[in-house]
Copies of this chain bind each other. A is one copy, B any other.
Amino acid sequence: MRIAVDVMGGDFAPRETVAGAVQAAREMPDTTLVLVGDRQVVADELARQDTAGLTLELAQAGDVITMAESPAAAVRAKPEASIVVATEMVKRGEVDALATVGHTGAGMVAAVLILGRIPGAKRPTVGVPILGLQPQTFFWDVGANVDCKPMHLLQFGLMGSLYVELVEGIENPTVALLTNGLEDSKGDSLTQAAFSLLAESDVNFVGNVEALNVIHGQVNVAVCDGLVGNVLLKTIESLSNLMLDLVEADVGSRLPAHVARDAFAPALGDLRQRTDYAEIGAVPLLGVQGHVVIGHGRSQAKAVKAAIHQARRAAEADLVSAITQRLAAP
């Protein structure tokens, strides 16, 4: 198994991305990691790390796409960008998978342009798990796809269900539509039409759920339009932080100072880390002809390592072949 790591992408690249790759390499001795980036920069970062006995390769990529750039234009204009070079390696079969924590849009555009969509896949989609909690709902789409058609939601359900089953190991996963109520009659014209498609499909469709149910992980897969999913994701991300800020200020101030410092603050810090999306493993991009995992831009070493593990698990499960077969089925 060989995995490319875009070590130039992300808010904390190359320091944290290289550190995460080194940690991952230590945990997967049977896998070769290919660090894609400026050779000198990467070598300098590697020199800070203990790499004894690790199988690491370098692949030169002299450019990088920054968060401020328009993804479609940047991918076309920068053939030497690390995400472009890494995706080309997937295309040529030189690696089995790719992990990046760079610009999400650029990662998606590179995957679609270079790898292409799986035949029949209408829209590639990015999903996430709800917080880092167990039990856990994974949901698609988180923002790339707005103005979805019913068929898109069906495909998010089909592909998400395969991901959760093959990569997360959840047998016969439940799939639900995220709407404004539980009853079959709830939802808008989009979700009502998607309801019929999902009910007729072979996924384990359990009907409509509302936000409460996905927050509590009561289904394995939830699907929704990308605008709804984006509001859900960003609400979770910002509100979980805000609530912990409120606890820190309101509750912390009412504890004895030494307890606040020695016990309360560290415990709260652990919880903050546990529920931080930058610490939560990413989920592969679904619907493209390659195993590509795009993690959070704020990822530090631990999350980069998690993204590499995710890329490896997706490739091991051969998720792309499973989705290809499923979408080719009548």
Q: Which residues of A are in contact with B by a Cβ distance under 8 Å?
A: 133, 143, 146-147, 178-181, 187-189, 191, 210-212, 215-216, 224-228, 230-240, 242-244, 246-247, 250-251, 254-256, 259, 263-264, 266-268, 270-271, 275
Contacts and interface: CB of A to CB of B under 8 A. Distances in A.
Contact of A238 (B146, B211, B231, B268): B211
**How many copies, total?**
2
Nearest first, the 3 closest Cβ-Cβ pairs linking A and B are A211-B234, A180-B230, A243-B243
Given A146-B187, A212-B234, A235-B239, 15 more contacts: A133-B246, A143-B180, A146-B180, A147-B188, A147-B189, A178-B231, A210-B230, A215-B239, A224-B231, A228-B228, A235-B236, A247-B271, A250-B267, A251-B267, A255-B263
A294 to B, nearest CB: 16
A73 to B, nearest CB: 13
B210 A231 contact: yes
A227 B275 contact: no
A139 to B, nearest CB: 11
Contacts of A235: 211, 215, 231-232, 235-236, 239
Nearest to A210: B234
B238 A212 contact: yes
Contacts of A211: 230-235, 238
17 contacts: A143-B181, A179-B227, A181-B230, A188-B225, A210-B230, A211-B235, A211-B238, A215-B239, A216-B238, A231-B232, A232-B235, A235-B239, A239-B240, A243-B244, A250-B270, A251-B271, A256-B263
